Amino acid sequence: MFTQLNPPIPLHVLGKGEGYALGLIDYGQEHNLIWVTAINATGEVWCAPNPTVRLGKNWTMGRPEAAAIGIDKQAALS
């Protein structure tokens, strides 16, 4: 199933950088969600599996930046 996100969601893809998720692909219960994401720095569009996607800091929601809660974005790729 493909779901177009409107509006797009800002996020970080490990190993690629900051971008906007334009859509979401769900292949079912045996698979990760796939985030169709446009990367800000390069304009590339990548299909990023769920374990490599991080939401950004959101003060209103009380969500700190990933580094502030001890998540090393590069180490998570290993």
Q: pLDDT digit string (tens) for 34-46?
A: 999 999 999 999 9
Per-residue tokens: 15: 């190993």
As a CATH number, domain 2-77 is 2.30.30
Per-residue tokens: 61: 């929601």
d(CA 32, CA 26): 7
The one-letter code for the residue type at 42 is T
Helix (H) or strand (E) holding 23, with range, is strand 17-25
d(CA 69, CA 71): 6
Q: Where are the domains of the chain?
A: 2-77
Q: pLDDT digit string (tens) for 8-66?
A: 999 989 999 999 999 999 999 989 999 999 999 999 999 999 999 988 777 787 777 66
